[in-house]
Amino acid sequence: MKRVTALICVMILLATMSGCAPQEPAAENATTTVTEQKVTTVATSEITKGELLSTTTTRTTVGGEVTTSKTKKGNTTTTVVRQTTTTTAAKTTAVNGVTLLEPQDGFVVDSQSPVVDEYMAITDDKKAAEFWAASYTGMAYSASFSARWESKGMLWRVYVSEDKTFKNATEAIVTNPWYTVDNLMPGRTYYWKVVNGFGVESEVRSVTVEPTQVRWIYAEGGDNIRDMGGWMTESGKRIKYELLYRGGCIDGYNGGPMLTNNGKTTFKKVLGIRTEIDVRGSDAAMTVSPFGGEYFDLPMTQYDYIYNDKTTKTSLGGIFDVLSDESKYPIYYHCNAGADRTGTLSFIIGGLLGVSFDDLTRDFELTGFSSRGKRLRAKLNTDTLTFSADGVMQYSGSNHIAWGPLYNIMMTDYGTDSGKLSDAVANFLITECGVTQAEIDAVRRIMLG
């Protein structure tokens, strides 16, 4: 009986130490090392054929081998075992948890491409001419970051907010362990986290966007879309972001940009655009907004042609009727390329709000970073690296690009004693387009921070 009892005890001890007990999951992203270790063990006795034997059993703490030896007379023996030690090289993932991989907490996001930064730092025509002698088509992108994580499952929810408590957070449901967050605001800090299908939340991390000026917009299928906010005005106030957007067509007319379903969701749900102003007129293929916004068909021409075009003046009256109604915002206005007619309307709106002509020129030329082609302040001589003095880039039957005459006529024919572009534009709108002072005051109140 003693012999049987002793054997049972040994079997239980062996079973327990050989891995029958639950183990923690091996850490992901771990490295493994093997070391030699001397282990002293105490014998468990049994009687076999009249001799006293001792059985020793050794199991390493983590993933080790079991070594059993027997010695006579119950002596204590020293056994060398190979011990496996696991050291973690990265934060481990719990069985049902979420481990964020990137970006790291406090990551700083570039709000625009380095080439746009370079352009925005230019202060004179000569350097601008040198800059535009090179091609930068397609070099624009919105401020964004790509989040990646590790987690079991097939479905995750990504939450992003400007508030640490995730008040008014946006939510995205994804089926891959990564997600790109687009259209971030310059100078803002965002917080993000991931929740897996088991309802387990990750830690919270933050990203901060560089406080630069231009905010490019990414909407799948669209092109040359920018927020009109961020520009400093003569009053010392900046134009507010998230109210007025400019860009190209979104219906695919004549092979132009066409929003995908994801792009339409960006317009409606992410940017919250309520109203679309289409200035194409006979070029337009739409009668309703493709993303579901309120639609206004208000055709106009471009550059210095506006001063002698009755349709344009009537449309400008209608446009400012919309712009003076706060309930219509956010608003998206566009032509085909988002360059000429859209650029002309941007000149009028920005000029009225008090943006300097130099900054309006910068905004106008930013189209050159899209895929819609360059729009420059004048014709560029690549041999002398200078712009033509007349301010005309192109004057032909295929297109008319005359940024200089647009400004010069506005200041010559409608300028006031103040010498301010803002007063000249206001005078033009009131005397030629039927816009009221109350509407002008309303637009300034809505748009200026």
The pLDDT tens digits for 276-328 are 999 998 766 567 899 999 999 999 999 999 999 999 999 999 999 999 999 99
Percent of the chain with pLDDT over 70: 78
Span of 83-87, 131-135, 165-169, 245-249 with lowest mean pLDDT: 83-87
Backbone angles phi, psi at 254, to 5 degrees: 55, 35
Residue 194 lies in a domain: yes
The sign of the CA dihedral 177, 180, 185, 186 is positive
Rg (CA), the chain: 35
Q: Which of 213, 235, 264 is the C-terminal boundary of a domain?
A: 213
Cα–Cα distance for residue pair 98/102, rounded to 1 Å: 12
State whether 290 and 422 are in the same domain. yes
- Which parts of 282-401 are beta strand (E)? 294-297, 331-334, 380-381, 386-387, 394-395, 400-401
Domain count, the chain: 3
Is the pLDDT assigned to residue 228 strictly greater than 80? yes
Q: Which domain holds residue 99?
A: 93-121+139-213
Q: Taking the C-alpha atoms of 186, 444, 406 and 394 in order, what is their torsion angle to the nearest 10 degrees? A: 30
Cα–Cα distance for residue pair 217/180, rounded to 1 Å: 14
Residue 128 lies in a domain: no
Residue 312 region by backbone torsions, left for phi larger than 0, else alpha for psi between -120 and 50, else beta: alpha
Q: How far is CA 104 from the centre of its chain?
A: 16
State whether 410 and 430 are in the same domain. yes
Global model pTM greater than 0.85: no
Cα–Cα distance for residue pair 151/172, rounded to 1 Å: 16
Q: According to the model, what pLDDT value does residue 4 have?
A: 41
The three-class DSSP label of residue 132 is helix
Cα–Cα distance for residue pair 415/408, rounded to 1 Å: 10
Q: According to the model, what pLDDT value does residue 204 have?
A: 98
Of 268, 269, 286, 277, the closest CA to residue 246 belongs to 277
Backbone angles phi, psi at 349, to 5 degrees: -70, -50
| Residue 35 CB-density burial (10 A; 0-12 exposed, 13-18 middle, 19+ buried) | exposed
State whether 316 and 406 are in the same domain. yes
CA-to-CA dists, residue 3 to 10, 44, 48, 50, angstroms? 11, 12, 8, 11
Pairing of strands 244-247, 331-334: parallel
State whether 428 and 340 are in the same domain. yes
Q: According to the model, what pLDDT value does residue 287 have?
A: 75
CA-to-CA dists, residue 44 to 20, 37, 236, angstroms? 20, 22, 88
Cα–Cα distance for residue pair 284/308, rounded to 1 Å: 22
pLDDT in tens, 187-222: 999 999 999 999 999 999 999 999 988 999 999 999
Q: Which of 183, 213, 243 is the C-terminal boundary of a domain?
A: 213
Greater pLDDT, 211 or 8: 211
Q: Which residues contact 193 (CB under 8 A, 6 or more apart)?
A: 100, 158, 159, 166, 201, 202, 203, 204, 205
Cα–Cα distance for residue pair 68/11, rounded to 1 Å: 12
Mean pLDDT within 371-377: 94
Cα–Cα distance for residue pair 33/186, rounded to 1 Å: 47
Cα–Cα distance for residue pair 404/349, rounded to 1 Å: 17
Q: How confident is the model at residue 243 (pLDDT cuts 50, 70, 90)?
A: very high
Q: How confident is the model at residue 123 (pLDDT cuts 50, 70, 90)?
A: very high
State whether 192 and 225 are in the same domain. no
Is the pLDDT assigned to residue 53 strictly greater than 50? no
State whether 398 and 255 are in the same domain. yes
Structure tokens given for 202:
């990750």
Residue 134 lies in a domain: no
Average pLDDT, the chain: 83
Cα–Cα distance for residue pair 272/286, rounded to 1 Å: 20
Q: According to the model, what pLDDT value does residue 28 have?
A: 38
Q: How far is CA 24 from the centre of its chain?
A: 38
Cα–Cα distance for residue pair 17/19, rounded to 1 Å: 6
Q: According to the model, what pLDDT value does residue 25 have?
A: 36
State whether 192 and 300 are in the same domain. no
Q: How confident is the model at residue 255 (pLDDT cuts 50, 70, 90)?
A: confident
Is the pLDDT assigned to residue 426 strictly greater than 70? yes
Q: According to the model, what pLDDT value does residue 284 have?
A: 66
- CATH number for 97: 2.60.40.10
Residue 155 lies in a domain: yes
Structure tokens given for 115:
């080439």
Of 242, 238, 253, 203, the closest CA to residue 354 belongs to 238
Is the pLDDT assigned to residue 349 strictly greater than 50? yes
Contact 373, 339 (CB under 8 A): yes
Contact 267, 333 (CB under 8 A): no
Residue 130 lies in a domain: no
Of 290, 298, 240, 294, the closest CA to residue 266 belongs to 290
Contact 171, 157 (CB under 8 A): yes
State whether 176 and 84 are in the same domain. no
Residue 127 lies in a domain: no
Residue 417 lies in a domain: yes
State whether 113 and 62 are in the same domain. no
Is the pLDDT assigned to residue 64 strictly greater than 80? no
State whether 390 and 337 are in the same domain. yes
Mean pLDDT within 108-118: 93
CA-to-CA dists, residue 9 to 41, 113, 382, angstroms? 16, 72, 94
Cα–Cα distance for residue pair 165/144, rounded to 1 Å: 21
Residue 393 lies in a domain: yes
State whether 411 and 358 are in the same domain. yes
Q: How confident is the model at residue 95 (pLDDT cuts 50, 70, 90)?
A: low
Pairing of strands 275-278, 294-297: parallel
State whether 179 and 266 are in the same domain. no
Q: How confident is the model at residue 449 (pLDDT cuts 50, 70, 90)?
A: confident
